[in-house]
Structure 1
């Protein structure tokens, strides 16, 4: 598949980098973060929207003589990979977007690659991070999740949008302040697209967050007003939205959520439990992710005999209680589950979601502080930290509490591999690992690892 650029770029042979300059490069391996590595006159260029083995023309988007590396987007494919496919979303297609004079929207950066090759590339990234940061030689298949005939579309139950200067729904280009107006979101579940938020005049709003639970319960639209937006303006937007959805305003800097209509939360379902999740509170994005991850965690812990009636378990970075509830089921009333979550609103949700479980203790606070204050041992631990990972201090504290096993859920292979390296240094080992393609057509993946003492 070859596309032809309409532009007449200036090519620089002396190695100076000017944003907008176009050069021809051969594409090397994928790197963590959704980029592909190319070289030009000795300098590394991180290229988006390419495939290893291709020869492409790229447009420099972030360059300069003092930069250690440059960034670029593909604008023309000169020699295509057999795994290249037509992008499913016009606005995220780099080739067409730059022809029309601007960058593509972010969030679907692998949409030009067949799903099978996407998963192989994600497996390459995971293997490279494990080798480099944890010293492990390990190849792991990235498993498809849900309906394998959906083209990797229609899975997002949550979406975040920007707003253009003209008050229209939009999305940011990658690493850019440019907001591109959107009129569809192919990765989102049907319920998000059916809201038709792009038909609204959103003047006075800085950001829009949408949650449409896959169980069919009431959707929630969150509006983040710009400073000085009047209540009257908010209510005029409210009047444009369907009456059967909840609407709230929120202040991201303060974490405040204010009811405008209906509820300030959504009702989610997973593993036979109902969960209330307020505002921007964390919940897995893929419609099939909650059950997939709960299944992987409980299979690892139960299969190894680490999760039994009467056991003492900790759920760290517990969120609204996705893992806490099935852990409580497994240990029963004779066991105990300690749930630790840093975000006050999310911890309040966990308290509501688990109020009928006497064996569960919910503590709001930083994980390292709570572990320091409560020097106690656990039979097993579930660790589901944010993208930055748990970090050296938490890993050391966990090993000191002496659990028999830790199920580590990660959305970032680099921080997971780094933390795994800390566990290895402390005499622990990776017993089992599964990887899931919970973010098709993007570079993200989710892993669940079982980590045990080596002795």
Structure 2
């Protein structure tokens, strides 16, 4: 619960110099009192006046800063186009030029790699830009307040921000959210998933009000990637940027350079995106996924493809008991990275090529350190921007093993 100053008291202000480092949430860092604090809305090297917010989170005292005034601006500062920027913290970098966002993302990957001697000399290639800087998200998670309107909660102040639109969302999501405005009082959380290439959608939970004409409570929706239709159930993971998900699949294929003779293990396979799109380039693919809903989706999505087998189970369990040595492994784990047992099994299996797709540079560096010390070598590291205007970055790493 927030313990920030009440509105009738003057805010606590501080003049800060922002350090040349980005924190794990995309905020700048600054020296303050006896330590360092995160400062939202700045750019490294700037001199700013920030509002200091003191609060408790999980019984821990926290201090953060919110930029109110820029005294010495970075040359990379641009006007944030969204009227809610700063009040809503969903975007961290709308005030940063896009070319510099890519530099910061590459730098964040480099910084995490530099923490490990085994990775410190690794070359990080430039970040692949996104074709659409706004309107790219196919999934929105809204908070609903009593009046029934959707919005978001500021992660620092914990205040609710009602929004008429979100500039990151696909126009179809904003249209659906607008249709629900003032009518969704029966729930406190609302998820909208939208097929950018199909105009199909999924709204959860089911809304029973007679005032709502929109279909809701669907079990799944469909989307197309590279011309192939994918069924995606409500609990199943799917990349939030459809355009870049297509580029990511192409990048994984280009990076692996499959000849058609390889056996491939696709770990954390989700709804089968990589396995299905790469099936025509491999001899055989075993796709592993622990989510029962995602496995059902994947089996449906792979209809007509005979060289892909789906195994329902945890990757660590399947890899630990795997006897056949795949030629190629694809890793696309959740943000937390790979289970230690998966890494141990990889060292034992020693595939010729492994592609590791990660959305968290910190977890990626930790896992790569284990693999490199276990005999793998890093052949390429390529960040790709799946999330413009935010600090998040995807990274595709190719590993070899003799």
TM-score between both structures, scaled by the size of structure 2: 0.91
Q: RMSD value over aligned CA atoms?
A: 2.2
8 Å CA contact 1:9, 1:22 repeated in 2: no
* CA shift for structure 1 position 221: 1.5
For residues 341 and 163 of structure 2, the distance between their equivalents in structure 1, rounded to whole angstroms, comes to: 43
* Structure 1: distance between partners of 2:213 and 2:263: 47
Distance 1:52 1:432 in 2: 28
Residue in 2 aligned with 1:54? 46
CA distance in 1, matches of 2:156, 2:61: 17
**Aligned with 1:156 (options 116, 123, 137):** 137
Q: Please name the residue that 2:314 is paired with.
A: 366
Matches within 5 A, 1:214-363: 214-223=196-205, 234-236=207-209, 239-242=211-214, 246-248=215-217, 259=218, 264-302=219-257, 307-331=258-282, 335-363=283-311
Match of 1:105 in 2: 88
- Post-superposition Cα deviations, 1:243-286, rounded to whole Å, max 9, x if no partner, equal xxx411xxxxxxxxxx4xxxx21111113321100113111111
Structure 1 position 32, deviation (Å): 2.6
Gaps in structure 1 of 5+ consecutive residues: 1-6, 11-19, 95-103, 225-233, 249-258
Instruction: Report the secondary structure of 1:74's partner residue.
Output: strand
Contact 2:55/2:61 (8 A) holds in 1: no
Match of 1:397 among 345, 355, 372: 345
Q: Distance in 1 between matches of 2:365 and 2:333?
A: 13
For structure 2, which runs of at least 5 residues remain unmatched after alignment?
1-6
3-state SS of 2:115 partner: helix
Task: Say which of 167, 186, 191 aligns to 1:186.
Answer: 167
Alpha-carbon distance between aligned partners in 2 of 1:178 and 1:197, rounded to the nearest angstrom: 24
CA shift at 1:356, angstroms?
2.3
Q: Deviations over 1:194-249 (max 9, x none)?
A: 2214523211212111112121332222227xxxxxxxxx3216x4244xxx411x
Note if contact 2:138-2:242 (Cα within 8 Å) is conserved in structure 1. yes
- Cα shift readout 1:123-179 (whole Å, capped 9, x = no counterpart): 1111101111453233431121224xxxx1111111111111332211111155432
- With over 3 angstroms needed to count, the CA separation of the structure-2 counterparts of 1:8 and 1:430, relative to structure 1, is farther
The equivalent of 1:203 in structure 2 is: 185
Greater length-normalized contact order (CA 8 Å, ≥ 6 residues apart): 2
Alignment check: 8 A CA contact 2:198 2:224 kept = no
**2:114 corresponding residue in structure 1:** 131
CA contact (8 A) 2:180 2:212 kept: no
Give CA deviations for 1:291-337 in whole Å, capped at 9, x if unaligned. 111111110111xxxx2223210110000010011222112xxx221
Cα distance in 1, alignment partners of residues 399 and 30 from structure 2: 35
- Report the CA distance shift for 1:85/1:317 in structure 2 as closer, same or farther (over 3 A): same
Counterpart of 1:251 in structure 2 is: none
**1:404 CA displacement:** 0.4
Is 1:24 the counterpart of 2:24? The answer is no
Q: Normalized against structure 1, the TM-score is what? A: 0.81
1:45 aligns with 2:18: no
Once residues 67 and 45 of structure 1 are traced to their aligned partners in structure 2, the CA distance between those partners, rounded to angstroms, is 14
Gap change, CA 1:241 and 1:200, over 3 Å in 2: farther
* Structure 1 residues 381 and 80: alpha-carbon distance in aligned structure 2, compared to 1, 3 A threshold: same
Task: Tell me if the contact between 1:58 and 1:73 (Cα under 8 Å) persists in the aligned partners.
Answer: yes
Secondary structure at the counterpart of residue 355 of structure 2:
strand
> Alignment partner of 1:90: what SS?
coil
Contact 1:46 1:72 in 2 (8 A): yes
Aligned counterparts of 1:210 and 1:280: Cα–Cα separation in 2? 12
Contact 1:46 1:69 in 2 (8 A): no
* Deviations 1:390-416 (CA, angstroms, capped at 9, x unpaired): 143211111211210111111111111
Instruction: Number of aligned residue pairs: give it.
Output: 390
**Distance (Å, rounded) in 1 between the aligned partners of 2:198 and 2:295:** 24
Structure 1 residue 82 and structure 2 residue 75: aligned? yes
Q: 1:63/1:164 Cα in 2 relative to 1: closer, same or farther (>3 Å)?
A: closer
The Cα of 1:62 is off from its aligned counterpart by 4.0
- Per the TM alignment, residue 374 of structure 1 is displaced from its structure 2 partner at its CA by 2.7
